[in-house]
Amino acid sequence: MQIVLYDGTPFSFLTLLYEYVLEKREEPIPKIYNLLLRKERAGLFTKEIFPDYNKALKLKEILRAHLGEPFLKRLYHFYLCDSAFLEETLIKGLRRALENPEIVSHITDEDFGKLARAEKELFRERHRWLGMLRFIEVTKGILLAVYEPKFNTTPLLTSHFMKRFPQERFVIFDSLRKILFSYRVFNEKEIFLGRVENFEFELAEKDAFIELFKTYFDNISIPERKSLKRQRQRVPLKIRKFLVEFW
């Protein structure tokens, strides 16, 4: 079986779909690897997909005409569900949907039911990090939040924190995918969302809010009602290294 590699960017994702939904519709679906999450080496039976903006835009036009504008928004959500590895399911589903558009809304459909469940999990993950994301102060008064979400939720968090901290300068960094969002770091109107290979920062000498937060948690806790099992259910161990109250 052929192995296909793509770099995990939106345009390469759309190019991948264009090639295997429209151009190679009759061919078997290959094994697909997102290089943003899986490091695979090119070999004799591998093919790498490079972003083709014309193909990406043409695919969007075709899907908009056949499946409607709301589906394009959902397609973006499916792209953000990167660790669910939905590419093969999506290709199979889109091949069928171009002949029968009604199946995209059928949660009982094998392919689109799986996609819908992943989309729902994406928004659960977003909701989790809206409450769990922690900011620390780094040099020059910039606030920094580092995390490793299950899915690529950073694009879904930005508007919330821009409204919550309109006067602050802050950075959100997904250390797993190397995706960084910065707001007003370099100038008043600067907004950046993209991938960075190297990202370094220096902590401020002492963040009084971290100590205050830890003191707050110590004082509201009730030792007699302590339950480690419920703590792990509500705050999984894998995310605690990003929460200042557990430092």
How confident is the model over 74-110, as pLDDT tens digits? 999 999 999 999 999 999 999 999 999 999 999 899 9
Mean pLDDT score, 106-134: 95
Looking at residue 44, its pLDDT comes to 66
* Long-range CB pairs of 17-20, under 8 A, 24+ apart, other chains included: 17/59, 17/90, 17/91, 17/94, 18/52, 18/55, 18/56, 18/58, 18/59, 19/49, 19/55, 20/91
Is residue 171 within a helix (H) or strand (E), and if so which, with residue range?
strand 170-174
**What element of type H or E holds 10?**
helix 10-17
Burial of 158 (0-12, 13-18, 19+ CB in 10 A): middle
| 180-234 pLDDT tens trace | 999 998 888 889 999 998 887 766 666 677 777 778 877 887 887 877 777 777 7
Token pair 């894998």 in the structure block, residue: 238
What region does 68 belong to: left with phi over 0, alpha with psi -120 to 50, or beta?
left
- What pTM was estimated for this model as a whole? 0.88
214-220: long-range pairs with CB below 8 Å, 24+: 214/244, 214/245, 214/247, 217/245
Specify the pLDDT at position 245.
Answer: 73
Phi, psi angles (nearest 5°) of residue 165: -120, 60
Could you tell me if 93 and 112 are in contact, meaning their C-beta atoms sit under 8 angstroms apart?
yes
Q: What is the mean pLDDT of residues 121-140?
A: 91
Task: Report the chain's mean pLDDT, rounded to a whole number.
Answer: 89
Nearest-Å Rg of the Cα atoms of the chain is: 21
Say what the pLDDT of residue 43 is. 62
Tokens 């490091």 belong to 39
> Could you report the per-residue pLDDT of 156-167, keeping only the tens digit for each?
999 999 999 999
Q: What is the pLDDT of residue 241?
A: 86
pLDDT at 17 over 90: yes
DSSP sequence for 189-241? T-EEEEE-S-----B-S--HHHHHHHHHHHHH--GGG--HHHHHHHS-HHHHT
**Averaged pLDDT, 51-68:** 96
Query: Looking at this protein, which amino acid is placed at residue 19?
Result: E
Residues 7 and 35: their CA atoms lie apart, in Å, by 5
Cα separation, 192 vs 190, whole angstroms: 7
- Mean pLDDT confidence for 62-80: 96
